[in-house]
Amino acid sequence: MKTNVVENHGRIFKNPILESFTKSNPNITIGYYSCMIVFFVYLSIRLSPLTSLQTFIIYSCGLISWTLIEYILHRYIFHINDYFPSFRRLHYILHGIHHQNPRDKQRLFMPPLPGAIIAFFLTLLWYVFLGNNVYAFMAGITNGYLLYSYIHYTVHTNPKKLMFPTLWSHHLKHHYQFPDKAYGVSSPLWDILFNTMPPENHPINNNKK
């Protein structure tokens, strides 16, 4: 039986131009970040002395590192109001609007412009430690983000398909029952290590979906 999906929309800025930069077409965004990965690989080949094996190892380190970055961002930045209640407006801009409108397809990916700015500063930061090896590392981080975004998008827009049943259950518990747990989206690894796993056998109350 087909289930009707209600897709609500929120608003961050009154200015329509600023508001447009907070939304993203999923197909365009997937293409954009895919191109960014290719660009980082190209820079690595041209500017880094790494062998193919070394490039793969550093790329894999970036891919794995994304899961920790994702956890830290989700727990401490996106839910900053849990630690600093006066930051409610910032919380709403970064993540609160997603919790209010979890099925809004235009807010399930980082829009290209802020994504490019964040990638630029991350590259500068890691360049201090990795030099020209940073490009392989950033290719892995960007690929990790793209995988995370695809999983996140699928969980919120195609729940009946259950393409990722464990991750689906994990993330929906965060949204609808345990907002202070289950911060990992693409992996529950860091929730396990940092003791933020939700109760395993607790039924999901998804009446708000």
Question: Would you state the pLDDT for residue 72?
Answer: 94
Give the torsion sign (CA, 30, 36, 39, 44). negative
Contact 10, 100 (CB under 8 A): yes
Per-residue model confidence as pLDDT tens digits over 136-183? 999 999 999 999 988 888 888 876 656 678 888 888 888 888 889 999
Looking at residue 121, its amino acid is F
Name the pLDDT band for 1 (thresholds 50, 70, 90): very low
- Check residues 93 and 191 and name the one with the higher pLDDT: 191
Percent of the chain scoring above 90 in pLDDT: 43
Mean pLDDT calculated for residue range 62-76: 94
Alpha carbons 79 and 95: distance in angstroms, whole number: 7
Which has the closest alpha carbon to 132: 57, 58, 208? 58
Name the pLDDT band for 209 (thresholds 50, 70, 90): very low
R_g of the chain, CA atoms, integer Å: 18
Mean pLDDT calculated for residue range 175-196: 91
Per-residue model confidence as pLDDT tens digits over 84-104? 877 788 777 777 777 777 778
Question: Would you state the pLDDT for residue 98?
Answer: 77
Which has the closest alpha carbon to 151: 62, 30, 31, 64? 30
Mean pLDDT calculated for residue range 184-198: 93
Mean pLDDT rounded to a whole number for the chain: 84
Name the pLDDT band for 204 (thresholds 50, 70, 90): low
